[in-house]
Structure 1
Amino acid sequence: MLIDVHAHWGPWFFSMDVASIDVNIDGLNRFGIDLQLVSAIEAIVYDAPAGNRSLAEQLPADPRLRGMIVVDPRRLDEARKDLDELLAGDGRARWAGAKIHSEYSRTPISTPPMQAAIELTTEYGLPTLVHTWGDTVLDLADVAARVPGARVLAGHMGASGWPRVPEAAERSDRIWFEPCWSAPEANRIRWILDRIGPDRMMFGTDATLIDPSVALGALEAAELTPEEHAAVTHANAQALFGL
């Protein structure tokens, strides 16, 4: 089984034709992805409430899709309204967690507004995928340690800050790591698994910005054992997101 915990739907502001949900579905079919957790690009880069509701209309297109509600730390009143409305009734089954992008929201992970946002998603019982880059992977671990019950997933595993992952894992036992990156460095996945074990890492692609083949190639290069492969490709995600 293969679960992609970091993907997107909608038009990017780059010169790419990836706006249609059909692009997501094509990736699922080509690479055998069984479940994909998606957030709306509109919600991340422009308007969270509008983007979240646009995504809600797209999720029924394929049963393999699950939504990630984007929370803007600058607009927490609107975020609470989104959570109340989108998670109500039968809609809850369509949403797996929350997504916060620290850079597009101009909210550093170390700041009080970011902690307040993670306190909000924790209140609603949602694991939260947060964009991390460089040393901010340590900042996210510190937030997880401060917020009781928080469950956070470091998107990109810090990217260029990936050597800090073992330290982040020591700072909190409620942070997990997702290693997709557009310019991956060799051997980083194997290096980290050898230091923290397989129970804190999950597979993600950053589709539709990046073709899933990049993340799959990095995973293959890590030469996972069968136990590591099962943990990273699906078991950890199933446990964290209740899939």
Structure 2
Amino acid sequence: MIIDVHAHWGPWFFTMDVAGANLSAMNRFGIGLSIVSATEAVIYDAPAGNRALAAWLETQPRHLGYVTVNPRRPADAERDLRAYLPTGRFVGVKIHTDYTGSPVSSPQTREALAMVAQAGVPALVHTWGATVLDLAQACLDTPGLRVIAGHMGADGYAHAIEAANACDRLFLEPCYSHAPAGRVARVAAAVDPARLLFGTDSTLIDPASAFGAVAAAGLDAETAELVAWRNAARLFGLDITA
């Protein structure tokens, strides 16, 4: 069993064809379940994208959704959380700090994360470089908040180690458009294995990138299983067996 905690649904503004790519990529790599955000919601219009994703998820048993939140539009965020989380098809929140121009340390994102904590679901938050440390601090400052550091800081993975060791409610997932040698192995050796997740950034990035990076880390069997699905099932409260 493999759970992909960082995936997307819908076309991108890049020159690429992703129509129908979700299931084909999942089947190719043996991914049993993907948790997706709507591309439209992430890069353009959160309410419209969330609405479209909700309709699509009704016919997709191998996908669950993130409610995308724009921290600069709190009324929209509050309304969408109330509308979609109770359906059971959405199990978390997605916040992209760059596309919304809302750094983790900004008051807007801090308020959005407090809203997420109150909703009782995890948030997948875009991190790059040292921003993962800001996410750890926001998590420490917000009781009950659980966050996934998307890309585990990308080239700032050394900061991700520090962040994960500072806050036991911060989780790391590895997808990245580059593949520095030893990145996943170094992180896995330095943090609690219960805090490691698997994510691909599909359909933006081919899942082969994340699979190769994790395979190259040479994880022991127990840690590999935690990363593949057990940690995600626990974090999102999913009733899943291998």
Tell me the TM-score normalised to structure 1 length: 0.96
Secondary structure at 2:58's aligned position in 1? helix
Structure 2 residue aligned with 1:23: 21
The CA deviation at 1:164 is 1.1
Q: Which of 106, 109, 121 is the equivalent residue of 1:111?
A: 106
Structure 1 residue aligned with 2:3: 3
Structure 1 residue aligned with 2:172: 177
Structure 1 residue aligned with 2:134: 139
Q: Is the Cα contact below 8 Å between 2:105 and 2:134 reproduced in 1? A: yes
Question: What do residues 121-174 of structure 1 show as CA deviations (whole Å, max 9, x unaligned)?
Answer: 111111000000000000000000000000000000000100112211232111
1:54-65 counterparts in 2 under 5 A? 54-65=52-63
Structure 1 residue aligned with 2:224: 229
Separation in structure 2 between the aligned mates of residue 128 and residue 231 of structure 1, nearest angstrom: 19
Larger displacement relative to structure 2 (189-198 or 47-56)? 189-198
1:27-38 counterparts in 2 under 5 A? 27-38=25-36
Structure 1 residue aligned with 2:161: 166
Secondary structure at 2:6's aligned position in 1? strand
The CA deviation at 1:59 is 1.1
- 2:45 pairs with 1:47: yes
Separation in structure 1 between the aligned mates of residue 98 and residue 178 of structure 2, nearest angstrom: 18
Q: Is the Cα contact below 8 Å between 2:85 and 2:91 reproduced in 1? A: no
Give the letter for the 1:109 counterpart.
V
Q: Is the Cα contact below 8 Å between 2:67 and 2:94 reproduced in 1? A: yes
RMSD over aligned CA atoms reads: 0.9
Q: Is the Cα contact below 8 Å between 2:175 and 2:199 reproduced in 1? A: yes
- 2:90 pairs with 1:95: yes
Question: What do residues 93-142 of structure 1 show as CA deviations (whole Å, max 9, x unaligned)?
Answer: 21110000000010011111111001111111110000000000000000
Separation in structure 2 between the aligned mates of residue 219 and residue 61 of structure 1, nearest angstrom: 31
- 2:190 pairs with 1:195: yes
What is the percent sequence identity of the aligned residues?
A: 51
Secondary structure at 1:58's aligned position in 2? helix
Q: Which of 207, 212, 234 is the equivalent residue of 1:212?
A: 207
Separation in structure 2 between the aligned mates of residue 80 and residue 133 of structure 1, nearest angstrom: 26
Q: Is the Cα contact below 8 Å between 1:25 and 1:62 reproduced in 2? A: no
Separation in structure 2 between the aligned mates of residue 56 and residue 33 of structure 1, nearest angstrom: 21
Larger displacement relative to structure 2 (151-160 or 183-192)? 183-192
Q: Is the Cα contact below 8 Å between 1:108 and 1:114 reproduced in 2? A: yes
The CA deviation at 1:34 is 0.7
The CA deviation at 1:192 is 1.0
The CA deviation at 1:197 is 3.1
Unaligned stretches of 5+ residues in structure 1: none
Structure 2 residue aligned with 1:77: 75
Tell me the TM-score normalised to structure 2 length: 0.96
